[in-house]
Structure 1
């Protein structure tokens, strides 16, 4: 959504939350940049400069506001949300960088360009055109903002914050922080001191763009929560995280919607603090915090449903894929029962603050080495047990496909090459494991029934043709269609 400066100033005066995370204002009289929802006094028009990203503001020597905290703002939206190929590639590149904020070192932009199927030079050019900064400037800003968030919200030692934010040494971290923010990390810690002890759970906050129908999302996840691994309680969702999902350590996390503010409070095990950046990016995708509800709701205006619907993602893509196989041609409750049996037999014990979270989901390595008979004897028909084994064996290749940031078609093709996995299952995995907003599982019975009732569609081909009007948001349309029947797979 492009705005000229006069329109952007009107957004600022209205404190319009629809533009939170997509518009930032730098105030020349203070040298500080803010979100459009900041509650401080509105600056004079002549003192305002407007930016599309924090990286642009910081490249122009503005510092982030300590009150509205730009690091908490929701992201700009889905990489696939524009039909312009160059802008899509630039957003996909930014999404890839977001997932590597805490990894340390300097990522290879040439390798990223190759993954996206373009030249290094072309990627740098379109990235600069879309984001106003180079890829490495963008990454540096993301790392600094993550460090600011961890310094403000947690009691992690400065050394741990530096490493979790992707800085290879405390010296480099201190220098970069002081150069950009004109204060040391320790000074920021003193200014925004929190009483949270360093030995307790790590707690951070993530922003979202309202409206957000968190009740519908929690209902969807609660119906599919695997006992022992995941549970929904009130406005919270809690789960274990097996080793290998975010890093070498297992742990737990909790996400709680703050119903009086557009925030999610995220708590997680201290053992996961070294991968804080990856964890927070995962939570954003899991709960679809960066979606643009105004755009999506407008595109789906001819479908029933409350505003602010979100696309439920996943923390563990392998777990999501296995559960999709278990859900073939059975009810949600039956699939949940089968998943619990699989967890009881092949999962690992897990420690968490909650007695109902006591196991981790089995790893690909464990299920790849398990005899098919030992899976089938859990009540899982042999064909699906074989599909799970094939999925587990192919997971190194499939997980690489999920990280390419390109269109999911190659992933879907690879999944369909596996025994026991057809187009519906492949699209469902792409929809929830990668957050693909345009997924449209073919020949979905519930979707067909809903489209027949709403639009008179009688065949899958007719339904797919009618669904073209909802691109690139067909996955959200699928959720609305399922909900219209009060049933979903």
Structure 2
């Protein structure tokens, strides 16, 4: 169900504790194994799980704790199950889930253009319909991005889980029955004045996390799309501890900028050189992938799995 008007009929009688199911359409193809695999590798203990092909996570919607579950359904649809969501918040929440799973993408158009590059044509043939997953929330994605600077994905998720336990709120008992979910992700105010180095990271990285939390408290729209990607990246790089890699990665994951590309990413360079040889330069090759460089990056990252 994608139609907001269909919700109006039961808004007054819908109880917040109701379990609701929606089917989200998308333009095929969609490479579900890669999408679920990406999310599974980046699950933060306490707020996310992937079990038996179902992605579950805790969220805060209109000030209430809720749980969403997403799985593949028949046809060109995903199944979305919601618990604890106020009726008035349903359209916005469904739109957010569509964004996180990149369901509004037009794969035929993207792959027709990206596939003019021989390397990308090969990668598209292996994973047609590959999507670029987006961050659930600007603050959460900012924390994930900084925690992931110069360490492995597993190491970053360990730090994120510590942050959740120490600074996140316990999940409301009304929706806490979902297996493996115990908290909601912290809000900026909960960490802004804390010494986050106690979580086990360098003080410089902890300071960057605090800087971002402070910046987002002062300007909640900081991580929303601007008029120009380059200007947005330059503006973000003015924050202490945020360089081009972090800014481009945030543009890719949070803004949904289709042409964002973190050129300094070690994994991207590794993937490209494994595919095309040790001398190839990412910056040179990436010119052929515009305006879909984010999708090219996603293909390169998953080629390493």
TM-score by length of 1: 0.57
Q: 1:423 to 1:160 in 2, by over 3 A?
A: farther
1:158 CA displacement: 4.5
Are the aligned partners of 1:398 and 1:411 in contact in 2 as well (CA < 8 Å)?
no
Aligned to 1:146: 4
Distance 1:441 1:390 in 2: 21
1:428 CA displacement: 0.8
Aligned to 1:219: 37
Aligned to 1:384: 205
1:229 CA displacement: 0.6
Aligned to 2:10: 157
Distance 1:214 1:270 in 2: 26
Distance 1:217 1:398 in 2: 31
Aligned to 1:427: 248
The count of corresponding residues between Structure 1 and Structure 2 is 295
Deviation digits for residues 43-100 of structure 1 (CA, Å, limit 9, x no counterpart): xxxxxxxxxxxxxxxxxxxxxxxxxxxx63xxxxxxxxxxxxxxxxxxxxxxxxxxxx
1:397 CA displacement: 5.2
Structure 1: unaligned runs, 5 residues or longer: 1-70, 73-144, 162-196
Q: 1:159 aligns to what SS in structure 2?
A: coil
1:456 CA displacement: 4.1
Distance 2:63 2:231 in 1: 28
Aligned to 2:28: 210
Q: 1:272 to 1:198 in 2, by over 3 A?
A: closer
Distance 1:411 1:313 in 2: 17
Q: 1:445 to 1:362 in 2, by over 3 A?
A: same
Q: Which protein is bigger by CA-based radius of gyration?
A: 1
Are the aligned partners of 2:59 and 2:184 in contact in 1 as well (CA < 8 Å)?
yes
Deviation digits for residues 346-402 of structure 1 (CA, Å, limit 9, x no counterpart): 1110033313111011101111132x2xx1122111111100000000014554143
Distance 1:357 1:415 in 2: 32
Match of 1:475 among 286, 294, 300: 294
Range with greater deviation from structure 2 (444-453 or 360-369): 444-453
Aligned to 1:362: 186
1:199 CA displacement: 5.1
Distance 1:241 1:474 in 2: 30
Are the aligned partners of 2:16 and 2:86 in contact in 1 as well (CA < 8 Å)?
no
Match of 1:251 among 63, 66, 69: 66
Q: 1:203 aligns to what SS in structure 2?
A: strand
Equivalent residue runs for 1:89-238 within 5 Å: 145-148=3-6, 150=7, 157-159=10-12, 200-238=18-56
Are the aligned partners of 2:16 and 2:85 in contact in 1 as well (CA < 8 Å)?
no
Are the aligned partners of 1:349 and 1:358 in contact in 2 as well (CA < 8 Å)?
yes
1:262 CA displacement: 1.1
Q: 1:198 to 1:360 in 2, by over 3 A?
A: closer
TM-score by length of 2: 0.89
Q: 1:270 to 1:381 in 2, by over 3 A?
A: same
1:411 CA displacement: 3.2
Distance 2:5 2:13 in 1: 10
Distance 2:131 2:31 in 1: 7
Are the aligned partners of 1:160 and 1:274 in contact in 2 as well (CA < 8 Å)?
no
Q: 1:337 to 1:404 in 2, by over 3 A?
A: closer
Structure 2: unaligned runs, 5 residues or longer: none
1:247 CA displacement: 2.6
Q: CA RMSD in A?
A: 2.2
Q: 2:145 aligns to what SS in structure 1?
A: helix
Q: 1:360 aligns to what SS in structure 2?
A: coil
Say whether residues 1:282 and 2:63 are aligned partners.
Answer: no
Distance 1:438 1:388 in 2: 26
Bigger relative contact order, structure 1 or 2 (CA pairs below 8 A, ≥6 apart): 2
Match of 2:142 among 321, 327, 332: 321
Q: 2:49 aligns to what SS in structure 1?
A: strand
Aligned to 1:296: 110
Deviation digits for residues 234-278 of structure 1 (CA, Å, limit 9, x no counterpart): 232111113xxx4322322112221x2211121222343321111
Q: 1:468 to 1:397 in 2, by over 3 A?
A: farther
Q: 2:30 aligns to what SS in structure 1?
A: coil
